[in-house]
Amino acid sequence: MAVLDAGAITQATAGNREARTAWGLTAPALLLMVLILLVPVVVAGVLSFTNYSLGNASFDWVGAENYERLFTRSTYEKMFIATFTYVVTVVPISVGLGLGAALLLHSLGRIGDIYKTIYFLPVMATLLAMAIAWEFMLHPTIGMVNRTLAMACGTWLEVVPFVANGCAGGFPLWLGDRDYAIWVVCFIGIWQGFGFNMVLYLAGLTAVHRELYHAAEMDGAKSAWERFRLVTWPALGPTTVFVVTISCIRAFQVFDTVEAFWPQGGGPNKSAYVMMFAIFEKGVQQNLIGMGSAITMLFLAFVMSLTLIQRWLVERKVHYG
Amino acid sequence: MADLQITSVTKRFGETPVLNGVTLDIADSEFVSLVGPSGCGKSTLLRVIAGLETPDSGAVSIGGANVTTTRAADRNLSMVFQSYALYPHLTVAENIAVPLRMRQLTHLQRMPLIGGLLPGARGHRQSIAAAVNAATEMLEIKSLLDRKPGQLSGGQRQRVALARALVRDPAAFLLDEPLSNLDAKLRVQTRAEIAELHRRLNATFIYVTHDQVEAMTMSDRIAVMMGGEILQCATPEVIYEDPDDIRVAEFIGSPKINILPIERVGHQLQIFGRPLEWRLPPGSPQIMQLGLRPEMVHLTKRTPRLRGRVAHVENLGAEVFAHVMVDDGAMRVTLRASPAEQSMLVLGAEVGLGFNTRAAMIFDADGKRLRKIETMVGTAVEVA
């Protein structure tokens, strides 16, 4: 018995030692995560219930006042409308275009590489610099866009009401028009983002087993659409979940274009007042840290729920392997 | 079920010729194996028959109709792939149902939710379910219906792939090395099952394999392919006992056939300088090759035709294979002996070898069979 006990004790101490080593090895990563991720989030969470401003010695607790403003003031209503318009437009279109471009390029031979580079260029370019280029192109009078549109005047293209109106009363101001501003931002977002999705889809497509297409053909899948439904789309399931999640998070983060076009206010009549810009304006420009923190917490909640939905989808619906 | 004709089909991939004018007739409900070493074009030929590759020239017809330009989906053939090619996101039951769903249901009827409400869809769905049921029962995979391919073992996947092929009633079944991913034991078992399936369905089977044992045990006829041509297409017995070409003789049979050089000196044949009693017709070539199956060579003490030293002995229990170095160690002859004779087969021992002249095959220097000479010297075998 004594021997057995001694054995049990050595085993127990060995187990303890192993556990200690494990904690010791995890500690640096854990510490860093707490310091640079969790602590700032908690601090922001706490500050969102105050009226703190940077440089002030103290602050007052204001309770849920910041959040109340967030859901009652018309400025923030515009913020929500602009943000969701952007997300709901940019995500489906940039994912769809990315998939379409990837499928087309995948069926192409050597020339595909050239297109790959062309479509990927906007992803690599600095968005701030690109925004300035777009600003020139969209200039109401000297911009390339409106000049091109003006060439349609006097031709049969005038049957299109948009062209007819433009020729009669001038083409849109684009960046200065509250009906167009957010759509211009959306367009640039799609132009800039779909190349990235395309590359992810191209990677996904290389993993599709070629023999499955032959099996589908033998099984009677005649049209390209049937083969896509039977083989390609299910095989791209994991890629799609990832692409959609990444696109959503990137869409919520849109900031550069808005800041470059309208540094002073988020578009005409705040029509392009997206969330990230609101955080920047309140928290940095106006030094209303409390308000900025409240918007940040909301932003965090959106991104968090997106990630949770992704996890749920991955476990439930998508087939891996 | 239908017969198939392949007429002088050629195919090249870029500069590499893969099929050089292959002609093959397959009768209704026949089991034909395409066998050959890797790279001989057997899989390409199967894919040409399936319609997955277009031949550069030549024609393929099924049941008398020329289908050379018909796409694979319209040829009414079933195929089992080497990798099984099961749809990973579908359950076993759904996988097996795919060929029927694709052919019997319209686009709308295949849609989830609304599809089931459309007129006619119900009846189709029930008949599909019944067919899937019958196929799974035949292959004894009923318990796997709700699983995904990722949760199955190799043997189970192979059965699902077979079930997907035979859930329809196609003109012919094409099988592309379906057993090559299974372990040895399962391969033997599945081999018998596929042969039995063929007998039960009485369907046309075209079976591609590099394994001569599979070809020999399952087929009605074997087409031995090499370098993009069919060297010989005949029953397993003929292929083994009466090959047309030395490459066929060498490919079929394990251990490999012994090939020994023989030389004509005047009217006499000599093997390693020793005369053989055969008399040759005039005009027969100078250099020839003698093919001897290991079971045709035996140990003998009286007037041996060959002498040599035992180099290696393989005891398989029921039989013993011995490698004997002849011609001063320049050639190696394999012979089959009975376990009783093993005492004579000591490594390094000198033994005398004899062979049955009636079973010897003679080939010319290029490997073509010289049947005329065999009949005249009296070695030709009578094949049933």
CATH value at residue A125? 1.10.3720.10
Rounded to 5 degrees, φ, ψ at A109 are -90, -120
The answer to whether residues A82 and A14 belong to one domain is no
Which structure tokens are listed for B318?
């029921």
* pLDDT score of B379 more than 60: no
The answer to whether residues A254 and A191 belong to one domain is yes
- The residue range of the domain holding A8 is 1-39
The answer to whether residues A33 and A78 belong to one domain is no
The answer to whether residues A103 and A144 belong to one domain is yes
Residue A46 forms part of a structural domain: no
| Chain A neighbors of B50, CB-CB under 8 A | 214, 218
> Which segment of A259-268, B45-54, B234-243 scores lowest on mean pLDDT?
A259-268
Q: What is the pLDDT of residues A52-71, one digit of tens each?
A: 888 888 888 988 899 999 99
The answer to whether residues A8 and A86 belong to one domain is no
The answer to whether residues A148 and A21 belong to one domain is no
Question: Measured between CB atoms, does A238 come within 8 Å of chain B?
Answer: no
* Strand, coil or helix: B5: strand
Closest to B148 in 3D by CA, of A291, A237, A54: A237
The answer to whether residues A165 and A263 belong to one domain is yes
Distance of CA B110 to the CA centre of its chain: 39
* pLDDT score of B381 more than 50: no
Residue A45 forms part of a structural domain: no
The answer to whether residues A210 and A81 belong to one domain is yes
* pLDDT score of A47 more than 70: yes
**CA distance, residue B98 to nearest chain A CA (Å):** 7
Residue A56 forms part of a structural domain: no
- Contact, B354 vs B271, CB < 8 A? no
Contact B102 A221 (CB under 8 A): yes
Question: Measured between CB atoms, does A109 come within 8 Å of chain B?
Answer: no
Q: What is the pLDDT of residues A195-241, one digit of tens each?
A: 999 999 999 999 898 899 999 999 998 889 999 999 999 999 889 99
| Chain B neighbors of A235, CB-CB under 8 A | 88-89
User: CA A94, CA A39: separation in Å to the nearest integer?
Assistant: 35
At B382, the pLDDT band (50, 70, 90 cuts) reads very low
Q: What is the pLDDT of residues A146-187, one digit of tens each?
A: 888 888 888 888 888 888 888 888 888 888 888 899 999 999
The answer to whether residues A150 and A292 belong to one domain is yes
Which positions in chain B have a beta carbon within 8 angstroms of at least one beta carbon in chain A?
47, 50-52, 71-74, 77-79, 81-83, 85-90, 98-99, 102-103, 148, 150, 164
Question: Measured between CB atoms, does A224 come within 8 Å of chain B?
Answer: no
Residue of A211, A221, A321 lying closest to B85 (CB–CB): A211
* Interface mutation vs chain A, best among B102, B157, B158, B177, most A CBs within 10 Å: B102
How many domains, chain A? 2
Residue A127 forms part of a structural domain: yes
- Contact, B52 vs A214, CB < 8 A? yes
Residue of A218, A230, A321 lying closest to B72 (CB–CB): A218
Residue A64 forms part of a structural domain: no
Tokens 């070539």 belong to residue: B285
The answer to whether residues A28 and A148 belong to one domain is no
What domains does chain B contain, in order, with CATH numbers? 4-246 (3.40.50.300), 256-377 (2.40.50.100)
DSSP B248-274: HHHHSSSSPPEEEEEEEETTEEEETTE
| Chain A neighbors of B82, CB-CB under 8 A | 211
The answer to whether residues A35 and A110 belong to one domain is no
Residue A292 forms part of a structural domain: yes
| Chain B neighbors of A217, CB-CB under 8 A | 51-52, 71-73
Alpha helical stretches, state H, chain A: 2-33, 39-47, 65-72, 74-107, 111-124, 127-137, 144-150, 161-169, 181-206, 210-218, 224-227, 233-235, 237-252, 256-261, 275-279, 289-316
Residue A321 forms part of a structural domain: no
Q: Round to the nearest angstrom and report the end-to-end CA distance of chain A.
A: 51
The answer to whether residues A157 and A254 belong to one domain is yes
Tokens 């006619």 belong to residue: B120
* Strand, coil or helix: A38: helix
User: Would you state the pLDDT for residue B374?
Assistant: 79
At B166, the pLDDT band (50, 70, 90 cuts) reads confident
At A15, the pLDDT band (50, 70, 90 cuts) reads confident
